[in-house]
Amino acid sequence: MSEPTLATVAVRWYDENARDLPWREPGIGAWPVLVSEVMLQQTPVVRVLPAWQAWLTRWPGPAELAADPAAEAIRMWGRLGYPRRALRLHDCASALVERHGGEVPADLHALLALPGIGDYTARAVLAFAYGQRHPVVDTNVRRLVARAVAGAADAGPTTRPADLVATEELLPVEPAVAARASAAFMELGALVCTARAPRCTDCPLSDRCAWLASGEPAPAGPTRRPQRYAGTDRQVRGLLLAVLRETAGPVSRDRLDLVWSDDVQRARALATLVEDGLVNHHSHTTYTLPGDTPPPSPSPSPLRPVDLGADQR
């Protein structure tokens, strides 16, 4: 009898150990899966869960989201981080309504043509919502494949075409099984084959892991340090956006000036919010979220009669 493949072992482990997450429920639909994948980018599951549930309760489909202004998407996003994702979801929902009748297409090229949908998200939706055979490669999968197959400690900072090829070669032929294997690889990378403290003794792939067999060599390049948040422009952007989220109408510049004492950094952060389309600048002193009611235009001053003087009448 032939030895079970890496995918077979991973799926067996997944069947017994996978987290019970709502976007993994059978028949959940492509829109909830798409929303979950956008929210999960650079954000832990524990923070995504309540945001995803609230989002789907308010906007169960693309049509409902597209009918609301972008400002509401930004407000609902709250403090989930990287708020441009809220704008991308709103733009995507509008495009789905215009191009696909409010349905998420089951075609890779159609998904990639949508605003805000990149290669990873498109393949994840096709695998996890439609059961198609696609290599779904995030940071966790890249690390797992690099260790188990290539014997490397990590796979480098960015996804390369070679990562897609290496992962696809591990997938079973049957689409539904391949989709489950993609989920299993991702879960193993997230929970067991972690970046800083891999639990090799708990890993079902330990007896065939090339990295473990070679003595767990350290990464060849410099170790990536976690990005700090306190004091950065990201923090200032978040504070500015919080004021605008909590206000239904225009916000004065004076009010925004209160959130951060460094004038130069605050102005820079506000300018990038405007540049990213997250904030509309209506005048030198007034700002709103996109789609919120702008301030009324000032009424023109009434014309006064001109005194021409007695000699000019």
**Positions marked catalytic:** 37
Beta bridge partners of residue 9, listed in sequence order: none
Residues 6+ apart with CB under 8 A from 298: none
CA torsion sign for 119, 276, 70, 36 is: positive
Concatenated DSSP letters of 169-237: TTS-SSHHHHHHHHHHHHHHHHHTS-SSS--GGG-TTGGG-HHHHTT-PPPSSPPPPPPP-TTSHHHHH
Matching residue, tokens 């695998």 = 127
Distance of alpha carbon 231 from alpha carbon 10, whole angstroms: 42
